[in-house]
Chain A
Amino acid sequence: MKKEVIYQKSGRLRFIGHLDILRALIRSMRRANLPLAYSKGFHPHPLLSFASPLALGWEGQNELMEVTLEEDLPDDVFLEKLQTVLPEGLGVSKCRTRVEPAPSLISQVAAGKYRIQLPMIEGMEEGEYETAFSALMKKDCLMSQKTGKVRGRKTMIDFDMKPLVYAYAFSSQTQLELILALGQDQTLKPNLLMEALYKEMGREALINQEFIVRDLLLSMDDSEGQDRSFTPLIF
């Protein structure tokens, strides 16, 4: 029996990394006495899967996980039991039962919608962030580095961020909304893009000072460029 769950990470739980969130969720489910199914083998562990880890420092509003239960439980009972035991900063808002062979929502994630609160700077020019960001996006390519594996060995890989930025808009002077690639093949972490932005502005000291919220996980059709359409993975 598989349950798809929408969960939130916010407040002081921002300061917790994904592995610790995973542990906290499992422990919460045990405290809630949910009939978790375990893997077989020497070290049985509960069967949980996640759409995409939230980095330490980010908030998430509509994150997805899937958990396998040994016996069925009504969705609302599942939610209520879990809600009462979660630590402050973790929340679960929705739950539904997935009947196979329906594809899981997790497998459909192709992009993430982010809301980024940029740091205020004293004496900042009107629209300074927006001007700089537009200039950035007019470049032919936007090189950055990420860790990856080449022939099994961990190394830094150069990659172009530009094609991974699907959409952007400023909702205020210091608030940037982004749709970025997020999936198995290609992912762009917003903080890398922010680093490039601060460098463009000549304000490297601001690195890591932004507040990143991932509002939605999205699926995407096969169109290219402007024609792409996104569907929020919520229910």
Chain B
Amino acid sequence: MHKLPIPDHVLLTVQKPARYIGGEINSVQKDLSTVHTRFCFCFPDVYDVGMSHLGLQILYACLNSYEGVYCERSFAPWPDMERKLRDLKVPLYSLETFTPLRDFDFVGFTLQYEMSYTNILNMLDLGGIPVFAKDRGEGDPIVIAGGPNANNPEPLADFIDLYYIGEGEVEYGHLFDLYQACQKEGWSRETFLRRAARIPGMYVPRFYEVTYEETPAEGCLHTPRLSSIKPIYDDLPEKVTKVTLKDIDSFPYPEKPIVPLMQTIFDRASMEIFRGCIHGCRFCNAGMIYRPVRFHSREVIMKWVDAVLASTGYDEISLTSLSSNDYPNLYTLLEEIHEKYPNVQVSLPSLRVDAFSLKLMEELSEGKKSGLTFASEAGTQRLRDVINKNITEEEILSGVSLAFQGKWDRVKLYFMLGLPTETDEDVTAIAALGEKIYWQWKKLPPAERSRDVAINISTSFFVPKPFTPFQWCAQASDETFYHRQNLLRDTIRNRKIEYHCHDAFLSTLEGLLARGDRRIGALIYEAWRLGCTFDGWSDMFKEELWRQAIVNTGTEMAFYNYRERKADEVFPWDHIDCGVTKDYMYQEYLKAKKAETTPSCLEKCTNCGTRKICPAGVCTGEIAV
């Protein structure tokens, strides 16, 4: 065993020391003398969160399947541990061999949410790696980033050497082959990156030049719009197209996922049942970038269930996807699992509530009635049509009525405030919907309903994201957010309805980073320099420091947040091709403004563009599982 770089008594003074010791079941140990490429997979959040992430398990297994490549893990240390590392001058290390990040060939970050960006800078710094890509030399690791937010790579362009756009299973083999050639031939870092930038899906920000218009954008004081993003070498692609796995069943799935020694957020085995989403909710980034929808076959899923349960000892499996109900023959799959493993609990995220799913949940929970969740997102049918959220009030009301009759007593409803075209009427309609749900319970005879009822309404603020039809939208201001929030709170009069809401500034900041360009790197750096980390944790979020950083860097919110983009806007991510075309999204945006809906991929193909880059799954009609 490798020796922990932190003395025992120091580890005993931090919270949850199990975060920092490794040694989990199924973590990979390799003989270092047989390894030519060392990769550290970095999750820019705390261990408990990172280890709950299925993508980590998939990539960890995938990278370790290459001979001579060793993938290890590292997570953002909680501030108490960060202080110890800095005091003792111990660089942030990997959990497999306790190697400092700076000694790896590659250090790879997964970009899951904007508010983890300062943690990336912090982890680089703690790991002994220069924070800016331009300051790294021949001995430093190549810093890679991937994951959903890599689709807008620009805010972190100053810090990342190489972006991997798309699904990790596809091109890492080629990248490692190239790196081995690099080691043999003794190429410089620059040469390696030049060649890597020609592999499909790879984007090296330093080889792409951004130009700006000469005058500030309309309504802005000093920030001009982008005029172009172009490669500086002729042999590099104008557009970097995301790489996508065509046959997802063909890829070896992590049959031996790591089992943490401490309780994590999701303490269970996760199994992907399909990738992508057939619904085109217009606010949803995941629904666009993970197209095409590809289902795993039941046979393959059952094979994994067998293997994963045997290798982990878990007693709970989560079947993951963006919308469980869309899996064909879901019930047959569940029955098969239950029959074979009666002591194993199965959980399904994102389940739409109807008679079928209630029956399902009844069986899954074996009598235990936890809360039911409806993500209706908007209060009126008009606004739900605007966002193309395919759920009607009748469906919600009949769903809750059935639930109450089945003795469920807690209902959770999620909404977004600040959606495009939203008015005060849309907001008060949320309270009215809560009231109607209450009456669905009230009007049932007491013997045929749950004893009590608790209706929980939560709102978050709408954040326009890249690669969605709403990427052209203006984001509502903090004032509008608070006005709507207060309006809703004041409209709710029923004691059985509880209201939870979010912090507006956090959403504003998320919007700023989500649609940021290369100039936003300075803001992220400044916020980190002032002491911001773990911004996604409400108790750690330092609003004052972020406001200070915005002032210090002269970042203009009017430009990034509050401006509706014109049709001809050059987006900072225009050189990335995620399949769905810009033109398609613009047409969707226009339809949104007219409250026109678009059918799902299963009903009708609306030619979003995905089929051109990846003819697979639903796009080719392959839905039999």
Of the candidates A27, A44, A88, A209, the one whose C-beta lies within 8 Å of that of B343 is A44
With the chains together, A158 CA to B267 CA distance in Å?
Answer: 37
- Cross-chain contact A12 with B4 (CB below 8 angstroms): yes
The yes or no answer to A13 lying at the interface (CB within 8 A) is yes
- Cross-chain contact A27 with B313 (CB below 8 angstroms): yes
Of the candidates B1, B4, B263, the one whose C-beta lies within 8 Å of that of A88 is B1
The yes or no answer to B13 lying at the interface (CB within 8 A) is yes
The yes or no answer to B459 lying at the interface (CB within 8 A) is no
B17, chain A: closest CB distance, angstroms:
4
B28, chain A: closest CB distance, angstroms:
14
- Cross-chain contact B313 with A88 (CB below 8 angstroms): no
Q: A14-22, A124-132, A139-147, A214-222: which lies at the B interface? A: A14-22
- Cross-chain contact B312 with A27 (CB below 8 angstroms): yes
Instruction: Take A87-B23, A88-B1, A209-B9 as given contacts and tell me if A16 and B18 are in contact as well, using a CB distance cutoff of 8 Å.
Output: yes
- Cross-chain contact B25 with A23 (CB below 8 angstroms): no
- Cross-chain contact B263 with A23 (CB below 8 angstroms): yes
- Cross-chain contact B4 with A19 (CB below 8 angstroms): no
- Cross-chain contact B261 with A30 (CB below 8 angstroms): no
B26, chain A: closest CB distance, angstroms:
10
A23, chain B: closest CB distance, angstroms:
7
- Cross-chain contact A87 with B262 (CB below 8 angstroms): no
- Cross-chain contact B21 with A31 (CB below 8 angstroms): no
The yes or no answer to B367 lying at the interface (CB within 8 A) is yes
In the bound complex, residues from chain B placing their C-beta under 8 Å from that of A12 are 1, 4, 21-23
In the bound complex, residues from chain B placing their C-beta under 8 Å from that of A16 are 18, 261-262
In the bound complex, residues from chain B placing their C-beta under 8 Å from that of A8 are none
With the chains together, A57 CA to B16 CA distance in Å?
Answer: 11
- Cross-chain contact A20 with B368 (CB below 8 angstroms): no
- Cross-chain contact A15 with B17 (CB below 8 angstroms): yes
- Cross-chain contact B9 with A119 (CB below 8 angstroms): yes
The yes or no answer to B247 lying at the interface (CB within 8 A) is no
The yes or no answer to A208 lying at the interface (CB within 8 A) is yes
- Cross-chain contact A56 with B13 (CB below 8 angstroms): no
In the bound complex, residues from chain B placing their C-beta under 8 Å from that of A24 are 25, 261
In the bound complex, residues from chain B placing their C-beta under 8 Å from that of A38 are 343
With the chains together, A209 CA to B366 CA distance in Å?
Answer: 47
- Cross-chain contact A27 with B12 (CB below 8 angstroms): no
The yes or no answer to B452 lying at the interface (CB within 8 A) is no
The yes or no answer to A168 lying at the interface (CB within 8 A) is no
With the chains together, A19 CA to B263 CA distance in Å?
Answer: 9
- Cross-chain contact A208 with B23 (CB below 8 angstroms): no
With the chains together, A119 CA to B10 CA distance in Å?
Answer: 13
- Cross-chain contact B313 with A29 (CB below 8 angstroms): yes
Interface string of B351-382 (1 = CB under 8 A from A): 00000000000000011100000000000000
With the chains together, A42 CA to B363 CA distance in Å?
Answer: 11
- Cross-chain contact B12 with A42 (CB below 8 angstroms): no
- Cross-chain contact B261 with A43 (CB below 8 angstroms): no
How many A-B residue pairs have C-beta atoms within 8 angstroms? Tell me.
Answer: 74
The yes or no answer to B424 lying at the interface (CB within 8 A) is no
Q: How large is the interface on A (under 10, 10 to 19, 20 to 34, 35 or more residues)?
A: 20 to 34
- Cross-chain contact A31 with B17 (CB below 8 angstroms): no
- Cross-chain contact B13 with A208 (CB below 8 angstroms): yes
In the bound complex, residues from chain B placing their C-beta under 8 Å from that of A85 are 25, 313
The yes or no answer to B8 lying at the interface (CB within 8 A) is yes
- Cross-chain contact A56 with B311 (CB below 8 angstroms): no
The yes or no answer to A211 lying at the interface (CB within 8 A) is yes
The yes or no answer to A97 lying at the interface (CB within 8 A) is no
The yes or no answer to B300 lying at the interface (CB within 8 A) is no
- Cross-chain contact A27 with B259 (CB below 8 angstroms): yes
- A11, A33, A87, A211: most-surrounded residue (chain B CB, <10 A): A87
With the chains together, A14 CA to B21 CA distance in Å?
Answer: 10
- Cross-chain contact B9 with A42 (CB below 8 angstroms): no
B354, chain A: closest CB distance, angstroms:
24
With the chains together, A89 CA to B366 CA distance in Å?
Answer: 36
The yes or no answer to B181 lying at the interface (CB within 8 A) is no
Question: Which chain A residues numbered 85 to 99 have a C-beta less than 8 Å away from chain B?
Answer: 85, 87-89
The yes or no answer to B315 lying at the interface (CB within 8 A) is yes
Instruction: Take A26-B313, A27-B312, A28-B313 as given contacts and tell me if A56 and B263 are in contact as well, using a CB distance cutoff of 8 Å.
Output: no
- Cross-chain contact B313 with A30 (CB below 8 angstroms): yes
Residue of B nearest to A207 (CB): B13
Residue of A nearest to B262 (CB): A20
Instruction: Take A15-B18, A20-B262, A30-B315 as given contacts and tell me if A57 and B12 are in contact as well, using a CB distance cutoff of 8 Å.
Output: yes
In the bound complex, residues from chain B placing their C-beta under 8 Å from that of A28 are 25, 313
Question: Which chain A residues numbered 40 to 59 have a C-beta less than 8 Å away from chain B?
Answer: 42-44, 56-57
In the bound complex, residues from chain B placing their C-beta under 8 Å from that of A27 are 25, 259, 312-314
Instruction: Take A43-B368, A208-B9 as given contacts and tell me if A87 and B1 are in contact as well, using a CB distance cutoff of 8 Å.
Output: no
The yes or no answer to B432 lying at the interface (CB within 8 A) is no
10 A/B residue pairs, CB under 8 Å, sorted by A: A12-B1, A13-B23, A16-B261, A20-B263, A23-B263, A24-B25, A30-B315, A31-B312, A87-B25, A89-B23
With A30-B313, A88-B1, A89-B23 already in contact, 10 other A-B pairs whose C-beta atoms are closer than 8 Å: A15-B11, A15-B12, A26-B313, A27-B25, A29-B313, A31-B312, A42-B368, A43-B366, A56-B12, A85-B25
Nearest 10 A/B pairs, CB to CB = A27-B313, A30-B313, A15-B17, A31-B313, A209-B9, A12-B21, A57-B12, A12-B23, A42-B367, A20-B262
Q: Which residues of A pack against B, CB within 8 Å?
A: 11-17, 19-20, 23-24, 26-31, 33, 38, 42-44, 56-57, 85, 87-89, 119, 208-209, 211
